[in-house]
Structure 1
């Protein structure tokens, strides 16, 4: 007798979009497509939501129309992943991304606010973002009250990793004139 093992069904972005258009998922579902797998995400808690709002207000005040501030909206990474990061600063798009989601080449900064998902954000999401060349990835770490900064993606990891506290500030790689106070976002 031959052993038969359950097989995982992986999907791609085209099938993912067809499933969404067909109404397969309830509207209140919090799902992401990560490396071909449909993952159920945790509900957003009070502290997490508050920090996403704080980040949004902070960056909107600092930026002009040359940068699109996207909140918990999809980005397309290859044919198998469409995560919904908490905040993305993307290059401005003439159609304001009405005909496509931003790709890795459009991303200036990607931020995940993290409490219950810290381990996932430091491992699977970090690997995904680095593999696709996201040049600057931040984790607003609500557990340790710090900002984790990841830069220089290479081979599925980041070569430059640093941890900042409320006393620090940071310049964005893609927008060096923009200095961000860590206290303002923590």
Structure 2
């Protein structure tokens, strides 16, 4: 045994309740750009102008065409297992969430807009969503001017993954009356 070797420090994992308690006692505020991912508090990158403008375009494209049974959430948390990610957009079932954040059973579609966060979204958040049965996720790749659509979730990931360029149109599986023209979003 090497007497100079130091054991690796262990990480402290937070529960969703711990995470909320940090907010209640003032360690975290509503203005902190963080999210809880599998027990770890993750700092979110600042939102750049291209990211913000794409989000605005998506909101315009989605909001006026949502059916009455759906709600549009922007950067609000969802609760999935020991995580509370804050997707850029969540289209959820229209019901009251006064006592609990939406869960996987409430989600109709999640959308992540990615510039600097592309690899994190693709390798950490998308698999997390799949493991918890989120039916459909769109990953807007700003640098690649494309949308990756993830459907058919399973424990090992999404079984149906497609990539669309700016000339495409997409309809969410659970909201087929909603069609998004990608040229308007990715322009």
Count of aligned pairs between the two proteins: 183
Is 1:177 matched up with 2:183? no
Instruction: Indicate conservation of the 8 Å contact 1:151/1:158, yes or no.
Output: yes
1:91 counterpart = 2:105: no
Matched, 1:113 2:113: yes
Task: Give me the whole-angstrom Cα distance separating, in 1, the residues matched to 2:152 and 2:137.
Answer: 10
**Structure 1 residue 3 displacement after superposition:** 4.8
Contact 2:23 2:29 in 1 (8 A): no
Aligned counterpart, 2:145: 145
- For structure 1, the residue ranges without an aligned partner over 5 or more in a row are none
Contact 2:62 2:178 in 1 (8 A): no
SS at 2:64 equivalent: helix
Contact 1:69 1:89 in 2 (8 A): yes
Which residue matches 1:28?
A: 31
SS at match of 2:140: strand
Question: What residue number does 1:103 align with?
Answer: 103
- TM-score when scaled to structure 2? 0.93
Cα RMSD of the aligned pairs, angstroms, is 1.4
Give 1:184 shift. Answer: 2.3
Q: How does 1:17-96 map to 2 (within 5 A)?
A: 17-78=20-81, 80-93=82-95, 95=96
- How far has the Cα of 1:58 moved from its partner? 1.3
Q: Is residue 85–residue 111 contact of structure 1 (8 Å, CA) maintained in 2?
A: yes
**Mapping for residues 123-162 of structure 1, pairs under 5 Å:** 123-162=123-162
Correspondence 1:12 to 2:12: no
Unaligned runs of 5+ in 2: none
Any conservation in 2 of the 1:128–1:156 contact (CA below 8 Å)?
no
Q: Structure 1 segments of 4 or more deviating over 6 A?
A: none
| 8 Å contact from structure 1 (residues 118, 141) kept in 2 | yes
My pick for the range that moved more, 59-68 or 21-30, is 21-30
Aligned-pair CA distance for 1:135: 0.8
Distance (Å, rounded) in 1 between the aligned partners of 2:105 and 2:166: 30
